[in-house]
Structure 1
Amino acid sequence: MPWYVVSYDLRGNESQEAYERIGKAWRTATDWCKPLLSHWIVESPLTASQIIDRLFSVGAIDDDDGLIVLETSMRGQFRRIQSPAVEWLRERVTTF
């Protein structure tokens, strides 16, 4: 199942409720991690386009918001990430 890196900018609706809607949407993914404020890593059987459609359909994002969904190999590095995300990343990311 593919992994995706998702980053977004909420524009004009940066309320706590807007962030909670995004979080609620991701918590339905197969596996997920939120290592940074507007950055998620999710495992999902959906395509990148389907992920965007899902976020729109549940009201997590709207037409003003910026959104990037990229499939990832889960290979890389990270630093200055706080727990519990750091443990999650250590278990799933192949570092080089």
Structure 2
Amino acid sequence: MATYLITYDLNRPGQNYNDLFEAIKKIGIWWHCLDSTWIVKSNLTAAQVRDSLTPAIDNNDSLLVVVLSGVGAWTGLDDDCSSWLKNNL
């Protein structure tokens, strides 16, 4: 199982994020403690994650999916967010 960082820019004014959020939640175990950033553990490849999310965004939007190495550092996150990262990275 890999851990992915997913981040995006939805560029259409008034963009509805619900479709994208629901698509991300279906990929696997997720973390969403920063506005345009999710971390998801999944059995999918990075390309499969991208392909599963593409229908939920517009042609002028941007989407980035990268594998995380398991090493990280952060500050300013609440205890729940920090605990998830410690247990899942």
Same fold (TM over 0.5): yes
Q: Describe the shift of the 1:51–1:14 C-alpha distance in structure 2 as closer, same or farther (beyond 3 A).
A: farther
Aligned equivalent of 2:5: 5
**Displacement of 1:72 after TM fit?**
0.8
Aligned equivalent of 2:71: 75
**TM-score, normalised with respect to structure 1:** 0.80
Correspondence 1:88 to 2:84: yes
Aligned equivalent of 1:32: 30
**Displacement of 1:85 after TM fit?**
1.9
For 1:42 and 1:25, how far apart are their aligned partners in 2? Answer: 11
**Displacement of 1:47 after TM fit?**
1.3
For 1:71 and 1:4, how far apart are their aligned partners in 2? Answer: 5
Runs of 4+ that moved beyond 3 A? none
**TM-score, normalised with respect to structure 2:** 0.85
- What's the % identity of the aligned pairs? 34
* Equivalent residue pairs, number: 89
Q: Give the unaligned 5+ runs of structure 1.
A: none
Instruction: Give me the CA root mean square deviation.
Output: 1.6
Among residues 46, 60, 85, which one is paired with 1:48 in the alignment?
Answer: 46
